[in-house]
Amino acid sequence: MLMKRWQAYIKKIRDDHKIDVVLQKQGYRSIEPNAQYILDELKTAGGFLSINDKSSPETIKELLGLSKKSFKKAIGKLYKDKQITIKEDGIFYYN
């Protein structure tokens, strides 16, 4: 049987000596890898993904495996860096 490996990060050590863990780096450090992942997915899909910042959290999770919050931060960075355009029908990659 194959076992799936996960990398986790300690978010907080609580007063009751329990540890809160998360699967993504916290804060700004998580934006760059997510932005690169979305860019790679856009390139693979021919430069267009039919989701945008108004898509449902379920749709974003299903298509990219990201939370809506992480997705919005990542596409915000890509938009700010002028690598993508965000339209009503989806996001487009600048070649």
Q: What is the pLDDT along the chain (95 residues), one digit of tens a residue?
A: 667 777 777 888 889 989 888 776 665 556 888 999 999 999 999 999 999 999 999 999 999 999 999 899 999 999 999 999 999 999 999 76
Instruction: Name the CATH topology of 27-93.
Output: Arc Repressor Mutant, subunit A (1.10.10)
Inter-residue contact 51 to 61 (CB < 8 Å): no
Dihedrals phi, psi of 86, to nearest 5 degrees: -110, 120
62 is written with which tokens?
């299903």
Number of H helices, E strands in the chain: 3, 5
Break the chain into its structural domains and give their ranges. Answer: 27-93
pTM value is 0.69
